[in-house]
Amino acid sequence: MFNAIVRAETLQDTLDSVGVLVDECKIHLEEGGLEIRAVDPANVGMVDLSLDSGAFESYDADGGLVGVNLVRLQDIADMADNDQLVHLELDEETRKLHISVDGLEYTLALIDPESIREEPDLPELDLSATIIVEGQDIDRAVTAADMVSDHIELGVEETAEIFYIDAEGDTDDVHLELEREDLIDLVVGPASSLFSLDYLQDMDRAIPKNAEVTMELGEEFPVKMHFDIAEGDGSVTYMLAPRIQSN
């Protein structure tokens, strides 16, 4: 059983956060809210999302699991205005999801969850540095880095208490340094890892410019990026595997 009403913008933000990594996903319809975990086909980027029942105008679920075509579902959600209410209702028998907005009803065939790539286990990592930074700073660095390179280094200079982003191209370089005062918070520790810019760009697209992003970093370890959606009633965690240092 699943029957819920949610603002279109909340649904859009939720779907976009996952849709930057995968085209299909499993959605857990838990009593307390929705839960989605997915990993991209290359096993490099993961997303762990929860959207609490409090993010909904009304919410009723008892623990089902559905598989959805995210691209299609995003198209439907994008048709609604931000403030319009979207009614979602699962038909258990036909395995279809009824989505209605202001009289318009869309019947979406679900996908057998068995046919969707298995959900990843998010590894417990002991990451030594924590940086809390505005989404727009990530966006600026990623956009600039893309002009010169296809990979990017994230790190912390412990003594100077600086978070840095570095991209080295064949001729040109991009470097962003954010001091403690430019950041929302910083816990220093040995941290420096290289990442694929493609993945970071995908994740960046889903991070609101005004979000407080909690980034956890280590030495040649994955990066975790966490931010809230739905005014705190939902949360997204991305994890991105490092590339092997090229230098």
Q: Euclidean distance between the first and final Cα of the chain, in Å?
A: 54
Within 10 angstroms of residue 217's Cβ, the number of other Cβ atoms is 24
Q: Which residue has the tokens 């962003």?
A: 176
Shortest Å, Cβ 4 to its own copies: 19
b/e map of 109-135 (b: 16 or more CB within 10 Å)? ebbebeebeebbeeeeeebbbbbbbbb
Residue type, 107: T
Shortest Å, Cβ 174 to its own copies: 5
Complex with its own copies: residue 13 or 134, whichever CB lies closer: 134
Cα–Cα dist 60/7, whole Å: 15
Shortest Å, Cβ 50 to its own copies: 27
Complex with its own copies: residue 128 or 136, whichever CB lies closer: 136
Within 10 angstroms of residue 147's Cβ, the number of other Cβ atoms is 10
Shortest Å, Cβ 125 to its own copies: 28
Shortest Å, Cβ 6 to its own copies: 18
Complex with its own copies: residue 96 or 117, whichever CB lies closer: 96
Long-range interactions of 225-231: CB distance < 8 A, separation 24+: 225/138, 227/135, 229/10, 229/13, 229/14, 229/17, 229/51, 229/55, 230/10, 230/13, 230/14, 230/51, 230/52, 230/55, 231/55
SS3 216: strand
Shortest Å, Cβ 106 to its own copies: 5
Complex with its own copies: residue 97 or 236, whichever CB lies closer: 97
Complex with its own copies: residue 105 or 150, whichever CB lies closer: 105
Complex with its own copies: residue 23 or 35, whichever CB lies closer: 23
Q: Which residues bind its own copies (CB under 8 A)?
A: 72, 75-76, 79, 102-109, 140-141, 143-144, 147, 171-178, 182
